[in-house]
Structure 1
Amino acid sequence: MNQYIHSFQSEWLKRKRSLASWLVICGAFFTPLIITTSKIVRHSMLASAGRSPQYWENLWKISWESMAVFLLPLGAILASSLITQLEYKNNSWKLLHTTPQSYRVIFLAKLSVILVMMLQFLVLFNIGIYFSGVLPGLLFGVPYPRQPIPYLHFLAENGRYFIACLPIIALQYLISLRFKNFLVPVGVGLVIWILSIAVLHWPYGHWIPYTYCGFNYLKDQAKHHQQFPPIPFALGYFTLFAVIAYILYLHQKEKG
């Protein structure tokens, strides 16, 4: 356990030299910033909106509209590829494998960093949603929204979105470990992501592992209702891809 903790700390420090860190911050606050700007421009509507009994639910839905289908999957694709490709970029795989760490620890530490970064992304995004809901009102003297924040509902939704992007992370991790060229995992990820958007209306679209973020957002719409459990599917794909990635990593003749 101590070896894993030290390895994770080392990998966490490495991420500071990657664009993935800025990607998390900029991506998390992009949509809330757009919404805040829109509210400021149309500040005459703030008072009536703040009296709505579904104020926070409406803000949540608007905030996730672009995030669920576009920004979150794209962020998972890019962040997973950038973090995994750090060793190829610095030509340091051989040096890493000379350290007193098992392959299992190295594999888990790198994967854990990506997962924690996705959690960080969700936390920052939720902070951005909150400020987009209250900051415009503070600027124009509008009372605080009447509706209490439904914390438990939002927490559950965050959990669903996190699980929904796990297959993306695992498959991007698998591909990034296998190929030195950064464009390969990103290119494959973008192709599958575009395909996932195209099959959201298809009855068997849930077999595409990059669709679950979009399906989670659309789950309350009758015409998009899917007769399948997205959470078990996402967890199943994540486990499958992670196990395959680990086996391939162990048996890869030239690791870096």
Structure 2
Amino acid sequence: MMSFIHSFQSEWLKKKGTLAFWLVFVGGFFIPLIFLSRGIFYPQDFLAEAKSPQFWNVLLSRCWQFMAILLLPLGVALATSLITQLEFRNNTWKQLNTTPQSLSVIFWSKFAVIIVMLLQFFILFHIGIYLSALIPAIVHGSAEFYQRSVPFSSALKTASLYFLDCLPIVAIQYLVSLQFKNFLVPLSFGIGLLLASMIAAQWQYGYTIPYTYCLYNFFTARQGNLAPGGVNFHYWAAGYFIGGTLLSYFLYLNKKEKG
């Protein structure tokens, strides 16, 4: 356990100052910043919306609309590939493999860093959403805003489902990134599958493509289950995540050249 903790700390320090590190912060606040600017520079619209009892539900839905369809899956694919490819870019795999830690510890510590970064992104995103409403309310003196309670349980449930639905992307990008030295391979693979998922969303078996689930989740919240046949795509997401992670682990342990 201590070996894993030390390895995790080491991997966490490596990602500081990288593009993946900034991607979490910029990505988490990007959409909320747009709504913050709108609330400040268009006070009449904000004040009118703040009077609605559904203010928070509408704001959350709008923020997730832009995030879920493209930015979240694309950001997850990019960040996972960047973190996994750190050793290839720095040519430090051989150095890492000579350290007194097992291959399992190396694999799972890197994987854990990606999962924690994803959690960090979700937290920052929701902090940004709250500030995008709070700051305009303070600036414009909206009394109605303070009468609107934040739907914490609903927001947490929504975030949990989106988190689950993007885990297959983490597992698959991690798998591909560990197998290829060239960063363009996992990146192109992720973008290709993401575009394929958007095209295949209406296909009878579109739910079999693991990058479709964030898209399905968003439209399900608005129109009912979009997945053909009423398939529970959250189960598919969990299955792809577990299967992809275990396959990645097996291939990593049995890879002849790990650097």
TM-score range, shorter chain: over 0.9
Map 1:159-170 onto structure 2 (within 5 A): 159-170=160-171
Query: What residue in structure 1 maps to residue 159 of structure 2?
Result: 158
Any idea what the Cα deviations from partners look like across 1:63-99, whole Å, max 9, x if unmatched? 0111001110011011000000000011000110111
Secondary structure at 2:147 match in 1: coil
TM-score of the superposed pair, with normalisation by structure 2: 0.96
Q: 1:210 to 1:38 in 2, by over 3 A?
A: same
User: Is 1:75 aligned with 2:78?
Assistant: no
**Contact conserved, 1:68 with 1:217, CA < 8 A, in 2?**
yes
User: Is 1:86 aligned with 2:86?
Assistant: yes
User: Is 1:129 aligned with 2:132?
Assistant: no
Query: What residue in structure 2 maps to residue 220 of structure 1?
Result: 221
Distance 1:44 1:208 in 2: 43
Matched AA of 1:38: R
- Which of 223, 234, 241 is matched with 2:244 structurally? 241
Query: What residue in structure 1 maps to residue 187 of structure 2?
Result: 186
Matched AA of 1:141: G
**Contact conserved, 1:52 with 1:146, CA < 8 A, in 2?**
no
Distance 1:59 1:188 in 2: 33
Distance 1:220 1:173 in 2: 29
Any idea what the Cα deviations from partners look like across 1:6-38, whole Å, max 9, x if unmatched? 110110000114210000000111100111111
Query: What residue in structure 2 maps to residue 211 of structure 1?
Result: 212
Secondary structure at 1:210 match in 2: coil
User: Is 1:96 aligned with 2:100?
Assistant: no
Distance 1:165 1:223 in 2: 19
Q: 1:224 to 1:152 in 2, by over 3 A?
A: closer
Distance 2:18 2:87 in 1: 11
**Contact conserved, 1:212 with 1:234, CA < 8 A, in 2?**
yes
Please list every run of 5 or more consecutive structure 2 residues that lacks an aligned counterpart in the other structure. Answer: none
Secondary structure at 1:254 match in 2: coil
1:145 positional shift? 4.0
1:41 positional shift? 2.2
Query: What residue in structure 1 maps to residue 11 of structure 2?
Result: 11
Percent of paired sites with the same residue: 47
Give runs of ≥4 in structure 1 deviating > 4 Å: none
Distance 1:164 1:223 in 2: 16
Matched AA of 2:123: V
Range that drifts further, 61-70 or 139-148: 139-148
CA RMSD across the alignment: 1.1
Distance 1:220 1:19 in 2: 32
Query: What residue in structure 2 maps to residue 43 of structure 1?
Result: 43
Matched AA of 1:92: T
Range that drifts further, 37-46 or 124-133: 37-46
Distance 1:12 1:5 in 2: 10
TM-score of the superposed pair, with normalisation by structure 1: 0.97
Matched AA of 1:39: G
Distance 2:239 2:13 in 1: 30
Distance 1:94 1:142 in 2: 59
Query: What residue in structure 1 maps to residue 255 of structure 2?
Result: 252
**Contact conserved, 1:11 with 1:109, CA < 8 A, in 2?**
yes
Secondary structure at 2:253 match in 1: helix
1:2 positional shift? 0.9
Please list every run of 5 or more consecutive structure 1 residues that lacks an aligned counterpart in the other structure. Answer: none
